[in-house]
Amino acid sequence: LEKILLIIKGVFESIKDAKLDRVHFAKYGAFSLDYEIVYFVMGNEYIKYMDIQQEINLRIYEIFAQEGIEFAYPTQTVILNK
């Protein structure tokens, strides 16, 4: 869990025009471990914000895959009886 904090902080070191404010392991979800990431994008253009958000998300996903960190996906089991 602590490694995830470091990974996320590291992502922001290479993202131009994005300033990380904080990242915290915030809570235990029903089937997840939830982190809160707060950052600021320098400028006021929505498309720039979306491009930076996408870059951050893709980088996190890429690094997690390299590190063997898996994301929790919602699952559902249906049992059918005759």
pLDDT at 77: 83
pLDDT at residue 66, as a whole number:
96
Pick from 55, 63, 49: nearest CA to 5:
63
pLDDT tens-digit series, residues 2-25: 999 999 999 999 899 999 999 999
What is the distance between the alpha carbons of residues 23 and 10, in angstroms, rounded to a whole number?
A: 11
So what's the pLDDT on residue 73? 77
pLDDT at 75: 76
Token look-up 């980088």 returns: 59
> How far is Cα 73 from Cα 8, in angstroms, rounded to an integer?
20
pLDDT surpassing 90 at residue 31: no
Res. 71: pLDDT tops 90: no
Residue type, 71: F
43: left (phi over 0), alpha (psi -120 to 50) or beta: left
